[in-house]
Amino acid sequence: MKKPRIISKKTLVMNSVATVIGAVIVTAFVTPAFADEEDAPMTVQIARLSSEAATAAAQGAMLDCRKRGFQATATVVDKNGIVQAVVRDTLAPPVSIPISKAKAYTAVNFSADTSAMADRANTAVGMFDGVLMSAGGAVINIGGKIYGAIGVSGAPGGDIDEACAKAGIEVIAEDLEMAD
């Protein structure tokens, strides 16, 4: 039978002090720094579109393209680039689905309309999987809050796709402005 090990009071105090110092150091490295620690937020609020608003924007964009004489697909993504709504007109080509998604994904991830990024299309970033720096993606930015983005594909030019995307944003803009 083993004899119990006797730990001195000095060893206990040293171990306790080392534990407290270690905890303080770890906390210092994992706690975000804020100017006023008392006002540090415990959570982050993210503005998100409802599924109804996302669908209304996509529908508005698709209908605007239809009025212009083009069959198109509109995809709305949230702030993380995750699809919230897709509306494809009856005769829009199937390839317009992934293209509209890529335009919306790119716009929200770079917080800019994709027409503003066309000159970066042939760079390493522009060739990244899922990124499409071609006109037709527009950020849903209302009152300084980015809610997501909308991408459109199907018109004969990206400038028309982007105009349709912005028309879709207009469908929900006033309601979003009033919501704040």
Taking only the tens place, the pLDDT of each residue in 56-68 is 999 999 999 999 9
CA distance 94 to 96: 5
- CB atoms inside a 10 Å sphere around CB 87: 23
pLDDT of res. 167: 98
Same-domain status, 120 and 173: yes
Domain that holds residue 24: 9-39
Tell me how far CA of residue 5 lies from CA of 8, 47, 154, 161, in angstroms: 10, 59, 78, 77
Same-domain status, 151 and 66: yes
Is residue 3, in this structure, part of any structural domain at all?
no
CATH code of 116's domain: 3.30.450.150
Model confidence band, residue 33 (pLDDT cutoffs 50, 70, 90): low
Q: What's the average model confidence in pLDDT over 96-115?
A: 97
Q: What's the average model confidence in pLDDT over 145-156?
A: 97
Taking the CA atoms of residue 95, residue 98, residue 99 and residue 100 in that order, the dihedral angle to the nearest 10 degrees is 120
pLDDT of res. 138: 98
Same-domain status, 61 and 132: yes
Is residue 104, in this structure, part of any structural domain at all?
yes
3-state secondary structure of 145: strand
Q: What's the average model confidence in pLDDT over 20-47?
A: 65
Is residue 91, in this structure, part of any structural domain at all?
yes
Count up the domains in the chain and report the number. 2
CA distance 46 to 62: 27
CA distance 133 to 103: 7
pLDDT of res. 45: 84
Same-domain status, 19 and 101: no
Same-domain status, 29 and 116: no
Model confidence band, residue 1 (pLDDT cutoffs 50, 70, 90): low
Q: What is the average pLDDT value for the chain, to the nearest integer?
A: 87
CB-based contacts of 134, cutoff 8 Å, min separation 6: 103, 114, 118, 121, 158
Same-domain status, 101 and 172: yes
Model confidence, pTM: 0.77
Model confidence band, residue 108 (pLDDT cutoffs 50, 70, 90): very high
Q: What's the average model confidence in pLDDT over 17-44?
A: 62
pLDDT of res. 88: 98
Q: Is the pLDDT of residue 30 over 80?
A: no
